[in-house]
């Protein structure tokens, strides 16, 4: 689903408060939170819903939105990837791709890399997962 599609759902009463550049942005997941800083739990394409329990004083909304904006990790990974001349991804210990360069890793590859990282005696460790040479750090 795209932001544009969500805005067009009758009965929701949603309206666009920013410019139209994000209308075609894909929504991949919905994340509901009342945490004041949910950034570490977010991935690109998340739609964040909140009951605003974190909003207690002036400036809280700006801090919350700043945290959400910083969770666009993919831009950081593209910069790092260009700098080092290699593809890179951030994975959780369970193999969930949080961000990265290019296309997302296939699930078996991401799981394999996460397992090798967790088994490593020291870091960085070099591993090969199903023909994919990779350096974990």
pTM of the shown model: 0.49
* pLDDT tens by residue, 19-63: 777 788 888 889 899 998 888 788 778 888 888 898 898 888 888
Over the chain, what is the mean pLDDT?
82
Residue 49, strand partner residues: 32
β-strands 46-49, 132-136: how paired?
Answer: unpaired
DSSP symbol at 57: S
Domain ranges of the chain: 3-71, 75-136
């Amino acid at each position: 689903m795209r932001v544009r599609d969500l805005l067009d759902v009758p009965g929701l009463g949603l309206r666009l408060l920013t410019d139209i550049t994000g209308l075609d942005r894909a929504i991949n997941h919905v994340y509901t939170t009342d945490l004041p800083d949910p950034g570490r739990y977010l991935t690109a394409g998340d739609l964040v819903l909140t009951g605003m329990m974190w909003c207690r004083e002036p400036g809280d909304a700006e801090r919350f939105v700043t945290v959400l904006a910083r969770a666009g990790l993919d831009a950081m990974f593209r910069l790092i990837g260009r700098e080092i001349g290699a593809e890179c991804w951030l994975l959780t210990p369970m193999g969930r791709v949080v961000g990265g360069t290019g296309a997302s890793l296939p699930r078996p590859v991401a799981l394999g890399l996460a397992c090798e990282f967790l088994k490593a005696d020291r870091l960085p460790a070099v591993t090969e997962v199903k023909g994919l040479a990779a350096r974990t750090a």
